Amino acid sequence: MKKFISALKLRTAHFALCTLCIVLCAMLTACGDAGKFTVEATFDNVESPTLRIVFVGDSGLTNATVPRDEKGTIRFAGHSTEPTLLVITGDRGAVLARAIVAGGDALKVRGDARDGDALYITGNAVTERWLAFRQKQDPLYDAAPCTALDDSIVAYATAHPGDMVSAALLICDHSNVTTDAKAVGALEALAPEARPASLATSAMTIASLMPTVAKSVDELRLFDDDGKRYETFSTAGRRSVLLFWSPIDSTFKAHFAFLDNVRRREASPLVADINMDGDSTRWQRALKPFVERPWRHLWSPTGPLEPALEPLGVRRTPLYLVTDTTGTIIYRGADTTAVLRSLR
């Protein structure tokens, strides 16, 4: 009987020890997963077999090349206990999506490399509100100078001091948050929880790695209107008006009529239209009624990811770039009235 009781006690102690080990392992696993987040992203019109994910997390800077599966989707898991900026780029650095992410998030991203408006992100509430602001103020993001966008950002931040979106807008989207007095004041007025240091650190680190949007256009090497060979289009010494368009948007006919009007102006600028649709047949069919118009008709086979266009950051159409005689971009946007005003 004593032997039986001793054996029972031993087995009970062994069971208790095993239970304790299981509990400890579970706790350690939970702690290890506390900062884990996942990303599932699918982008149309990307020819590269990989995309890049860049963020600053618990282990510092991560700049990972992630393969796309047969459906064009990437899947990635990272760790960041604190909120951080995450950027998805093409293989040459063109930014496809930006998000705020932290442990526990399961981001789902759907987009189109040729169309910056066709972006959908779920899985982080701050990111969703940030994206909603960007889409609502979309015309301001393409406008140059940035005064109207900067004012809109400061106004939002002033009205929402407890919202982390305010910090994201000021840190990531404002043209100069470090020197503009209004922006600096709006950032300092945010509640501490709305401006985590991790967000500012990650944004500054990633910004140093990202290609900047070009402020001038000297020449473009693209296909000409027969779609068979690359041609160099130079803006040297002349003002120029460049229209980026797609036949999917039926308004291109009105924009072509506008280009005709611009061309007829006194001291007419150099004019060119650049098709961003990857389907050359659709492009040539749409262009056929206008091919005799006396300006250059160019084609970018890979849309905004074409090496000649990537530095210009063209993510939506229609878009005009107006340059002065030095090639400096003096207007960027879709407002034809502003195009004419910039040419005066």
Q: Which carries the bigger pLDDT value, residue 29 or residue 6?
A: 6
pLDDT at 126: 97
On average, the pLDDT of the chain sits at: 85
CA distance 314 to 271: 18
pLDDT at 226: 65
Can you name the CATH fold of 219-342?
Glutaredoxin (3.40.30)
Count the helix, strand and coil residues of the chain and give each as a percent rounded to the nearest 5: 35, 30, 35
pLDDT at 29: 44
DSSP letters of 105-160? Answer: -EEEEEEETTEEEEEEEES-HHHHHHHHHHHHTHHHHT-SS-HHHHHHHHHHHHH-
Per-residue pLDDT at 25 exceeds 80: no
Per-residue pLDDT at 18 exceeds 50: no
Quick one: average pLDDT of 42-53? Answer: 91
277-325: per-residue pLDDT in tens?
888 888 888 888 887 888 889 988 888 878 888 888 887 888 999 999 9
Q: Confidence class of residue 146 from pLDDT cuts 50, 70 and 90?
A: confident
pLDDT at 15: 46
Per-residue pLDDT at 24 exceeds 70: no
Q: Which carries the bigger pLDDT value, residue 175 or residue 129?
A: 129
228-250: per-residue pLDDT in tens?
677 788 888 889 999 999 888 88
| Residue 310 DSSP code | G
154-206: per-residue pLDDT in tens?
999 999 999 999 999 999 999 888 888 999 999 999 999 999 999 999 998 98
Q: Name the helix (H) or strand (E) containing 236.
A: none
CA distance 101 to 107: 8
Q: What is the gyration radius of the CA atoms in the chain, in angstroms?
A: 26
- Lowest average pLDDT, out of 72-81, 125-134, 263-272, goes to 263-272
Q: Which carries the bigger pLDDT value, residue 107 or residue 312?
A: 107
Q: What percent of the chain shows pLDDT beyond 70?
A: 88
CA–CA distances in Å: residue 309 to residues 95, 129, 275, 295, 331: 13, 29, 12, 19, 17
Q: Name the helix (H) or strand (E) containing 228.
A: none
pLDDT at 110: 97
pLDDT at 292: 81
Segment of 18-22, 124-128, 182-186, 306-310 carrying the highest mean pLDDT: 124-128
pLDDT at 109: 97
CA distance 304 to 24: 51
Quick one: average pLDDT of 53-77? Answer: 94
Q: Confidence class of residue 6 from pLDDT cuts 50, 70 and 90?
A: low
pLDDT at 8: 37
71-96: per-residue pLDDT in tens?
999 999 999 999 999 999 987 778 89
- Domain ranges (residues) in the chain: 36-207, 219-342
- The SS3 call for residue 67 is strand
Q: Name the helix (H) or strand (E) containing 286.
A: helix 280-287
Q: In the chain, what's the furthest Cα-to-Cα distance?
A: 114
CA distance 286 to 98: 33
CA distance 199 to 135: 21
CA distance 154 to 158: 6
Per-residue pLDDT at 10 exceeds 80: no
pLDDT at 264: 81
The residue among 249, 268, 257 whose CA lies nearest residue 322 is: 268
